[in-house]
Amino acid sequence: KEETDVKDEL
């Protein structure tokens, strides 16, 4: 998992 990944979970 990369830093640029969007964190879509709450």
Partner 1 sequence: MNIFRLAGDVSHLVAIIILLLKIWRSKSCAGISGKSQVLFAIVFTTRYLDLFTVYISAYNTVMKVVFLALSYATVYLIYMRFRNTYDSENDTFRVEFLLVPVTGLSFLENYAFTPMEILWTFSIFLEAVAIMPQLFMITKTGEAESITTHYLFFLGLYRALYIANWVWRYHTEGFFDQIAVVSGVVQTIFYCDFFYLYVTKVLRGRGKMTLP
Rg (CA), the chain: 7
| DSSP-derived secondary structure letter, 10 | -
CB of 9 to partner 1, least distance (A): 7
CB of 8 to partner 1, least distance (A): 5
Q: How far apart, in whole angstroms, are the C-alpha atoms of residue 6 and residue 10? A: 12
Interface map 1-10 toward partner 1 (x if CB under 8 A): xxx--xxxxx
CB of 10 to partner 1, least distance (A): 6
Q: How far apart, in whole angstroms, are the C-alpha atoms of residue 5 and residue 9? A: 11
- Residues in contact with partner 1 by the rule CB under 8 A: 1-3, 6-10
